[in-house]
Structure 1
Amino acid sequence: MNPFLELGIRHEVVNAITEMGFETPSPIQEKAIPVLLTGNDDFVGLAQTGTGKTAAFGLPLLELIDFTQKHPQALILCPTRELCLQISKDVEKFTKYLDNVNVVAVYGGANISDQLRQIRRGVQIVVATPGRMLDIINRKAIDFTKVQYVVLDEADEMLNMGFQEDINNILSETPDTKKTWLFSATMPREVRRIAQKYMTNPVELTVGTKNAGNANIEHQYYLIRAKDKYAAFKRIVDFYPEIFGIVFCRTKIETQEIAEALVKDGYNADSLHGDLSQQQRDKVMKRYRERNLQLLIATDVAARGIDVNDVTHVINFSLPDEVENYTHRSGRTARAGKTGISLSLVNVKEQSKIRHIEKIIGKSFERKQVPQGPEVCEKQLLAMIDKVNKVEVNQEQISPFLPAIMENMEHLSKEEIITRFASLEFNRFLEYYRNAPDLNMEAREGRNEERGERRDRSSSKGYTRLFMNLGSVDEFSRGEMLGFICNTAKISGKSIGKIDLKGVFTFFEVEDAEVENIFNNFKDVDFNGRQVRIEVSGDGRSEGRGGRSRGGDRNNRGGDRRERRSGSGSRDRKDSGGFRDFSGKRQYSKSRY
């Protein structure tokens, strides 16, 4: 007998989910479905993302709802548009062999009139993001007085994104007699408070350990110098030719910079952050889901609710400030019972953070060595040979060309053909990694370097330390960067102090009296098609010379406060602060310096 039938799910639904590939219930489904099918209790389910929570609450709802009625009976709240669409599509697939089922997805970034029209036609299940749901409630366009079940999915993420007030307002529109089902990967105090406020003696089930990561994830870290982070990151990516990963950065600036640098270096990458429009976000996610992107560079908030199968690696380019965010990050891989790797790039002073995360999630990190050049070359060569073995040959279309190909190669032996073919790709990596340095570091060496780096970060007396979004990846040497700054700002080289050239950005000192000249003369500058940004920096962080950025990623405050920006923009973010798109820019190219 089918195990889902034994749990109490009707034949029509079981037939539908069997076609979707469901064979046996996941642990959260096996534990939650029998409890929820009674419809008598509030419920708290703690399980990692990717463990099948949608079916855990979706299948019981289909047994409890009366589909002869056309009013809302179930409301499912989730943090992001992507997750909202995913849940609604999954529930619709579950109901393939049921009649008169109406599911509406309600989310921002789409035409609200279309969503209102669907609601007016009659709906039993509403899947919504909090912001758009509240908009519809305020329009008096939906009646929740007969709602029997409210599901809060990814509750911790909704709270992290600042939706607590919206959730409170939405729940106040629902009957006191409803049952509330809360699903979360972690159980911070805020989630516990919601459970206490809106639930009565809830049944609580935990799959795994609270705040713990997926058991199928390997946790690794690489100890490197801060200045080598980008180079080490690229080398690790090259070492995994089939990587399909999400790269997490702390700030939107870092996200955009890393993505731009990767594209410039020939990698298939793009960024996802809070300054993107919904249309831009959809385009990036479509490319990633279709695997037309190999690396998605994202901030924590922008990646909320992303559910993409077969992510092989989660890379923490920067460690998160909160341990809960590390759990959410790593949970993007090893979904649906598969395995994955979560790796972190850290310097010596961040090792204590790794130890703290280990204690919280109950998992040990493995210290890994950044691969050496020959190891990367070997991996790339073997990956290419593997592709050759697996390539699908279209015999019919290639046949007309084979005689000419054979004639051109008849003077070569089999071994020579194989060697030359392999060298086409291998030579590129061999040349790139020729004499490649060892990027690994030891703890003692790291402590000395970090102390020196901290000393370097403070501005000299009489100078202001500035940030620029150009670096060594733009093929600048320190001398060339000095020339670029002086020629653009029309100031003497004597006015420039220390220049700290990094991979994708540069810190430089300028005499206090020349700061305004820097900002004024860089406000319309475009370098090789990229907007040049100059920002005040202090102690390696952004410092207050202007208003705080309040838009975009809600819990990214503090990391993205590049307050003083050169120029004025023609296209600002909807909220104050943020990136600006400059018009009438002066054009520069590397050939000039």
Structure 2
Amino acid sequence: MTEIEEEEVKTFKSLGVCDELVEACDKMGWTTPSKIQVEAIPHALEGKDLIGLAQTGSGKTGAFALPILQALLEVANEKGKPPAFFAVVLSPTRELAIQISEQFEALGSGIGLKCAVVVGGVDMMAQAIALAKRPHILVGTPGRLLDHLSNTKGFSLHTLKFLVLDEADRLLNMDFEKEIDEILNAIPRERRTYLFSATMTKKVGKLQRACLKNPVKVEASSKYSTVDTLKQQYCFLPAKHKDCYLVYILSEMSGSTSMVFTRTCEATRLLALILRNLGLRAIPISGQMSQSKRLGALNKFKAGECNILICTDVASRGLDIPSVDMVINYDIPTNSKDYIHRVGRTARAGRSGVAISLVNQYEVEWFLQIEKLIGKKLPEFPAQQEEVLLLLERVTDAKRISLMKIKDGTGRKRRRGEDDDEVDKHFKSLKDAKPYKKSREGRKMRK
């Protein structure tokens, strides 16, 4: 291939995308298509079913959104107006569904696109009203979409032309198989289907055979990998001092926007309280929080009001928060593939980023599995234990106070969501808190 041909391939126009959508891509800052977009869009525009395999943060949303919007424009030009419920996108999490909807709306802003989101944790009546307005694109989680198909009067998907299963491997791991089967029985057989997944599991293969017709398989990465712009390190530590090491790293990198991944919902709440007690601007997000609180936390993080997001794996897939500088694995994931998705929250779209894994004596085997998966030995983060343990007294006090708040001072555990209100009340102003100051030695060491 000549240099000229290579240059042509690197534009959305050369992939066959129409002028209106090329302009929309420019407005969103999408100047060059990603590898999965280059591979997928031409086949999709030819009307073929797709199986797309790509690592997280690779631009999968654009790979299916642009062909769908182009097909919608063509139908609108023929019939005078775009049809309702033209496409449905199924997502494993509420936050990812909302983000996909936002990207559709941004790409379709110049053509009057209407998009609706149906996810759990939100009033069904308000969603039913949105469905009654007959949007062109519907994005949702399988359970709530099935609820509406079963219970919302007058709602059906008989006009559907496109079905997208995004993060299909996770959809199936979250036991949505039954709901997906019922949705497939309720929609037209004559449709285009796009299945996008980070991994090709047996369950994904079974789903592929059930709902795709002669699909084209496109792949942006043939193995599990992390991007070259990501600096990955680990820190080996005793389990009893893990909180100290976390505070130390966050303080050493105090100018960074960070995501801290834990294994449990309870840990997100406790860590957020500990860090806020120490004057760090942390906020939790987990599956146990109400939808409004989850969105509120995410919006505060995106807006920069809080620069540390403490989260479970609910935030490890799909969420595109461009400003994330660092990912910390507070708990090493038991499934090494989840590591790829977690660290994929940083170093996105060519930017640089840092990922640090806190490995205690009980997690060594899981960490070795991660190194085996990514095919490299990671360097150690430079932390002197003597300096880290200078924080021990303050961190211990902060943890004791935080546990008392979670117990409400009476030994009674709070009901779900109740402790989040307490966090907001107690820490409504962070200006009074005294943040831990970095030492000169720490700064030198990091350099």
- Once the two structures are superposed, residues 538-557 of structure 1 have per-residue CA deviations (whole angstroms, 9 ceiling, x without a partner) of xxxxxxxxxxxxxxxxxxxx
The answer to whether residue 371 in structure 2 is matched with residue 358 in structure 1 is: yes
- Once the two structures are superposed, residues 176-196 of structure 1 have per-residue CA deviations (whole angstroms, 9 ceiling, x without a partner) of 222211111222332222112
Partner of 2:25: 17
Partner of 2:69: 62
The answer to whether residue 257 in structure 2 is matched with residue 244 in structure 1 is: yes
Partner of 1:281: 294
For the 8 Å contact 1:272–1:303, the answer to whether it is kept is no
SS in 1 for 2:102: helix
Alignment of structure 1 residues 469-548 onto 2, 5 Å: 473=394, 504=399, 529-531=405-407
- Once the two structures are superposed, residues 519-564 of structure 1 have per-residue CA deviations (whole angstroms, 9 ceiling, x without a partner) of xxxxxx9976442699xxxxxxxxxxxxxxxxxxxxxxxxxxxxxx
- Measured in 2, the distance between the counterparts of 1:259 and 1:69 equals 46
SS in 2 for 1:367: coil
The normalised TM-score by structure 1 is 0.63
The answer to whether residue 326 in structure 2 is matched with residue 313 in structure 1 is: yes
Alignment of structure 1 residues 6-155 onto 2, 5 Å: 6-39=14-47, 41-65=48-72, 66-67=75-76, 68-99=81-112, 101-139=113-151, 140-155=153-168
Q: Which amino acid aligns with 1:315?
A: I
Q: 1:358 to 1:114 in 2, by over 3 A?
A: same
Q: Which amino acid aligns with 1:223?
A: F
- Measured in 1, the distance between the counterparts of 2:360 and 2:146 equals 44
Q: Which amino acid aligns with 1:64?
A: A
Q: 1:141 to 1:332 in 2, by over 3 A?
A: farther
- Measured in 1, the distance between the counterparts of 2:310 and 2:158 equals 42
Q: Which amino acid aligns with 2:209?
A: Q
Q: Which amino acid aligns with 2:356?
A: L
SS in 1 for 2:309: strand
- Measured in 2, the distance between the counterparts of 1:229 and 1:125 equals 45
Q: Give the Å deviation of 1:311.
A: 0.7
The answer to whether residue 304 in structure 2 is matched with residue 295 in structure 1 is: no
Partner of 1:216: 229
Q: 1:579 to 1:235 in 2, by over 3 A?
A: closer
Q: Give the Å deviation of 1:109.
A: 3.2
Which is worse superposed, 143-152 or 28-37? 143-152
Q: Give the Å deviation of 1:37.
A: 0.5
Q: 1:47 to 1:568 in 2, by over 3 A?
A: closer
- Measured in 2, the distance between the counterparts of 1:233 and 1:581 equals 24
Partner of 2:241: 228
For the 8 Å contact 1:13–1:98, the answer to whether it is kept is no
- Measured in 1, the distance between the counterparts of 2:226 and 2:182 equals 32
For the 8 Å contact 2:244–2:395, the answer to whether it is kept is no
- Measured in 1, the distance between the counterparts of 2:134 and 2:357 equals 48
Q: Give the Å deviation of 1:567.
A: 4.6
For the 8 Å contact 2:407–2:413, the answer to whether it is kept is no
Structure 2 alignment gaps of length 5 or more: 1-7, 423-447
- Give the counterpart of 2:346 among 314, 328, 333: 333
- Once the two structures are superposed, residues 471-525 of structure 1 have per-residue CA deviations (whole angstroms, 9 ceiling, x without a partner) of 965766xxxxxxxxxxxxxxxxxxxxxxxxxx837xxxxxxxxxxxxxxxxxxx9
For the 8 Å contact 2:169–2:198, the answer to whether it is kept is yes
- Once the two structures are superposed, residues 44-103 of structure 1 have per-residue CA deviations (whole angstroms, 9 ceiling, x without a partner) of 11112222111111111112222324332211111222222221221122123325x332
Q: 1:211 to 1:579 in 2, by over 3 A?
A: farther
Q: 1:174 to 1:235 in 2, by over 3 A?
A: same
- Seq. identity, %: 35
Q: Give the Å deviation of 1:372.
A: 7.2
- Once the two structures are superposed, residues 378-426 of structure 1 have per-residue CA deviations (whole angstroms, 9 ceiling, x without a partner) of xxxxxxxxxxxxxxxxxxxxxxxxxxxxxxxxxxxxxxxxxxxxxxxxx
- Measured in 2, the distance between the counterparts of 1:295 and 1:277 equals 20
Alignment of structure 1 residues 403-442 onto 2, 5 Å: none
SS in 2 for 1:97: helix
The normalised TM-score by structure 2 is 0.82
Write 1 or 2 for the structure with the bigger share of helix.
Answer: 2
- Measured in 1, the distance between the counterparts of 2:371 and 2:85 equals 44
Aligned residues, how many? 407
Q: Which amino acid aligns with 2:52?
A: G
- Measured in 2, the distance between the counterparts of 1:186 and 1:280 equals 30
Q: Give the Å deviation of 1:234.
A: 1.4
- Measured in 2, the distance between the counterparts of 1:129 and 1:475 equals 40
Q: Which amino acid aligns with 1:130?
A: P
For the 8 Å contact 1:261–1:473, the answer to whether it is kept is no
SS in 2 for 1:218: strand
SS in 2 for 1:255: helix
Q: Which amino acid aligns with 2:144?
A: R
The answer to whether residue 213 in structure 2 is matched with residue 200 in structure 1 is: yes
Higher relative contact order (CA 8 A, sep 6+): 2
- Measured in 1, the distance between the counterparts of 2:393 and 2:184 equals 52
Q: 1:472 to 1:310 in 2, by over 3 A?
A: same
- Measured in 2, the distance between the counterparts of 1:71 and 1:257 equals 45
- Once the two structures are superposed, residues 163-212 of structure 1 have per-residue CA deviations (whole angstroms, 9 ceiling, x without a partner) of 22222221221122222111112223322221122223321111123433
For the 8 Å contact 1:29–1:56, the answer to whether it is kept is yes
For the 8 Å contact 2:316–2:341, the answer to whether it is kept is no
For the 8 Å contact 2:169–2:204, the answer to whether it is kept is yes
Partner of 1:457: none
Structure 1 alignment gaps of length 5 or more: 374-432, 440-470, 477-502, 506-524, 535-565, 583-593
Q: Which amino acid aligns with 2:25?
A: I
User: RMSD of aligned C-alpha atoms?
Assistant: 3.0
Q: Give the Å deviation of 1:288.
A: 0.4
Q: Give the Å deviation of 1:317.
A: 0.6
Which structure 1 residue ranges, 4+ long, deviate > 4 Å from structure 2? 302-305, 436-439, 471-476, 525-530, 566-569, 578-582
- Measured in 1, the distance between the counterparts of 2:402 and 2:361 equals 36
Larger Rg: 1
